[in-house]
Amino acid sequence: MIPKSWQPLTREQMAWRAAQDLKEGDYVNLGIGIPTLAASYVPPGREVIFHSENGILGMGPKPEPGKEDPNMVDAGKNKTTLVPGGCFVHHADAFLMIRGGHLDVSLLGAFEVSESGDLANWTTEDPAFPPGVGGAMDLAVGARAIRVIMEHTSKRGEPRILKACTYPLTAAACVKRIYSNLAVIDVTPQGLLVIEMIAGMTLEKLQASTEPRLQLAPDWQVLAPPEASEARAA
């Protein structure tokens, strides 16, 4: 294998990058997987309120060992906590917040995203297992900004940012920004606009890993996350 002149972001670094775009006062839902990690990387002093689909508004960090509460779980059924000011709502209200446009940001994982922002993240149609949709379709339509964190390519190196999704859609034309391990890409009416790339990456190399045509923003920046250990808020 040819040594690469660039180093893709880790899962933690992708989550760090997505967290930098969360603004003071934002109400945010974090999807299961890498998005959940973003809660740890909100810059210190910035107040962001996390929503969990099972009726928590003001979700906090993982509990300290020995302080787990069996009645406090997040969307992935992992133990969690409530921050001061947090409260509980029932399921229909939790999804009213999601579907009704009350959340500022929904940060989701994805199998595939298309150039028009179509999202596929709920089923790979594996016939051996029942499908599960959970809150994926709700989360993909309701928030004011729907953003995706995903590996740029599959394990076999095939593009996952495509002209059209091959897996069944979660929602059409919903994704506005993609944080991959190689770049930050905005979905615009004019197509995919690269606003950041990791050091050593070129548009040509990035294009080779991406099916639809990419454009480079004139004011693009180098995507330079801190080492994961330094990024995490104290």
Partner 1 sequence: MIDKRVNTTAEAVAGVRDGSTVLVAGFGAVGVADHLLDALHEQGARELTIVANNSGNGDYGLARLINAGRVRKVICSYPRSGDYSAFLNAYRAKSLELELVPQGTISERMRCHAAGLGGFFSPVSAGTKLAEGKETREIDGRLHVFEKPLKGDVALIKANKADRWGNLTYIKSARNFNPVMAMAADLTVVEVDAMVELGELDPEAVVTPSIFVDRVVVVGADA
Residue 189 interacting with partner 1 (CB under 8 A): no
Pairwise CA distance, residues 169 & 117, whole Å: 11
Q: Which of residues 26-85 bind partner 1 (CB under 8 A)?
A: 52-56, 69-73, 77, 80, 82
**Alpha helices of the chain — where are they, by DSSP H?**
11-20, 34-37, 91-99, 136-142, 203-208, 228-231
Residue 2 interacting with partner 1 (CB under 8 A): no
Pairwise CA distance, residues 151 & 161, whole Å: 10
Name which of 151, 186, 139, 181 is nearest 27 in CA terms.
Answer: 139
Q: Which is nearer to partner 1, 130 or 218 (CB)?
A: 130
Q: Which is nearer to partner 1, 133 or 233 (CB)?
A: 133
Select from 35-43, 144-152, 166-174, 203-211 the region that touches partner 1 (CB under 8 A): 166-174
Q: Which of residues 100-129 bind partner 1 (CB under 8 A)?
A: 128-129
Q: How far is the CB of 56 from partner 1 (least distance, A)?
A: 6
Q: How far is the CB of 86 from partner 1 (least distance, A)?
A: 10
- Which active-site residues does the annotation give? 53
Contact present, 120 and 112 (Cβ < 8 Å)? yes
Q: Write the Ramachandran bin of 111: left for phi over 0, alpha for psi from -120 to 50, otherwise beta.
A: alpha
Residue 215 β-bridge partners: 193
Q: Which residues bind partner 1 (CB under 8 A)?
A: 52-56, 69-73, 77, 80, 82, 88-92, 94-96, 98-99, 128-138, 141-142, 168-172
